[in-house]
Amino acid sequence: MKKNNILYIIIPCFNEEKVLKNTTKRLVKKLNEFIKNNKISKNSKIMYVNDGSRDETWNIIKELNNKEKMVTGISLSRNKGHQNALLAGLMTAKEYADVVISMDADLQDDIDAIDEMLDKYYDGCQIVYGVRKARKKDSFFKRVTAQGFYKFMKLMGVDIIYNHADYRLTSKIVLDELENYKEVNLFLRGIFPLIGFKTDIVYYDRAERFAGKSKYPLKKMLNFAWDGITSFSVKPIRFILTFGILILILSFILICYSIVMKITNHTVPGWTFIICSIWFIAGVQMLSLGIIGEYIGKIYNETKGRPRFIISENLLETKETRYKD
Ligand code: UDP
Ligand code: MG
């Protein structure tokens, strides 16, 4: 593979006025080192995506763009959330870049891991996931909630890389495929493993946010987790079905029990009938909901219209060469 490809670093920004200048300084230095060592093209860029910030973020991005030709940016019409901002950046960048790396504005993700990411990319990897080694520097609360999040996602049947946030290298080939995932409820961490291709992992230490506040309070985190589960898994629907079956089984046991009670004259009139009806009807209802849910689950998967397969290599001749002689 030819070296010095064009690299774009994509950074979604929401009210990040406090960190932008410092982040730019550190990244420009890093990219210039790569350019000097012929690892990336001199047309590589840092691309900020202003996600409808309410502070000076966009003005600072424009100012940085004037001063430093390596810095560029796009601005969304309003705040659409981290995942959408990231997608906007990726889809814009893929028209200019051979390879992109997404990261957060606060550089909590160690930028020195880019070296290894690029090496793996030149070795033929199309996706390189940045994975946090430990979370020593995160607050206890963040650590517990974040780790709980990954474990819960796994339990719910969503295939995600443990401790991988959105610090990731992706090649243009992968981004072209990503474009075919038309879903509106975006959970990029779940989509990339579905795309496949040769992938690898790079481990790094996660630092503290050096300025500004986290833009992911608990409420947003819970929303994010819920989006991840409901966009990737029909397991919650299966739970209803299983629950329905269990209640129905229980109702048969209770029916037997109440008949015995009736025969042995341990009941008041009407009790047997009411108990049997309540449990049986509840079981039937729950089961029916589960069955309807199964169909809704199918419809939901169909409406997403995700690609059913992606061809990574093709040994057939192309049409042009086939008809040449
Ligand atoms: N972000 C965004 N839109 C939002 C919220 C966050 O673009 O609505 C960006 C934010 O500017 C940052 C990244 O997403 O670059 C991650 O946010 P943050 O560092 O606050 O999250 P944490 O590291 O605390 O999970
Ligand atoms: Mg952060």
Percent of the chain with pLDDT over 90: 52
The whole-number pLDDT of residue 324 equals: 56
Supply the mean pLDDT for the chain: 88
- To the nearest 10°, the Cα dihedral for 292, 298, 301, 304? -80
Residue carrying structure tokens 């243009």: 172
Contact 33, 8 (CB under 8 A): no
Q: Which ligand is nearest to the CA of 85?
A: 1
- SS3 letters across 152-215: HHHHCCCCCCCCEEEEEEEEHHHHHHHCCCCCCCCCHHHHHHHHCCCEEEEEECECCCCCCCCC
Shortest-distance ligand to the CA of residue 215? 1
Atom of ligand 1 at shortest range from CA of 104: 15
Out of 137-141, 143-147, 192-196, 301-305, give the one with best mean pLDDT.
192-196
- pLDDT tens digit sequence for 303-314: 888 888 888 888
Ion ligand 2, residues whose Cβ is below 5 A away: 104, 106, 108
- The answer to whether the CB of 13 is under 6 A from ligand 1 is yes
How would you classify the pairing of strands 164-171 and 127-132?
antiparallel
Residue type for position 268: V
Nearest residue (by CA) to ligand 1, atom 16, is 104
1 has a pLDDT exceeding 60:
no
Task: Give the model's pLDDT for residue 319.
Answer: 62
Contact of 94 with 81, CB cutoff 8 Å:
no
State if residue 293 touches ligand 1 by the CB under 6 angstroms criterion: no
Q: What is the mean pLDDT of residues 21-25?
A: 93
Q: Is the CB of 223 under 6 A from ligand 1?
A: no
What are the Cα distances from residue 298, in Å, to 285, 301, 302, 306? 20, 5, 6, 13
- Indicate whether residue 247 lines ligand 1 (CB < 6 A): no
- Residue 32: per-residue pLDDT: 94
Judged against a pLDDT cut of 80, whether residue 282 lies above it is answered with yes
Residue 268 has pLDDT above 90, yes or no: no
Whether the predicted pLDDT of 321 surpasses 80: no
Q: How far apart are CA 34 and CA 119, in angstroms?
A: 11
Distance of CA 118 from the midpoint of ligand 1 (Å): 24
pLDDT tens for 236-251 read 888 999 999 999 999 9
What's the pLDDT score for residue 233?
84
How many angstroms does the Cα of residue 23 sit away from the middle of ligand 1?
14
Q: What is the mean pLDDT of residues 184-190?
A: 85
17 in contact with ligand 1, CB cutoff 6 A: no
Q: For residue 116, what pLDDT is reported? A: 93
Reported as a single tens digit per residue, the pLDDT across 254-264 is 889 988 988 89
Does ligand 1 have an atom closer than 6 angstroms to the CB of 109?
no
Res 318 pLDDT > 70 = no
Which DSSP letter does residue 5 get?
B
Is 325 a residue whose pLDDT tops 60? no
Q: What is the pLDDT of residues 212-233, one digit of tens each?
A: 787 777 788 788 888 888 888 8
Angle between helices 235-263 and 218-232 (to 10 degrees): 80
pLDDT over 70 for what percent of the chain?
96
Task: Tell me which of 215, 220, 222 to substitute to probe ligand 1's pocket, judged by most ligand atoms within 8 Å of the beta carbon.
Answer: 215
> Using 50, 70 and 90 to split pLDDT, how confident is the model at 320?
low
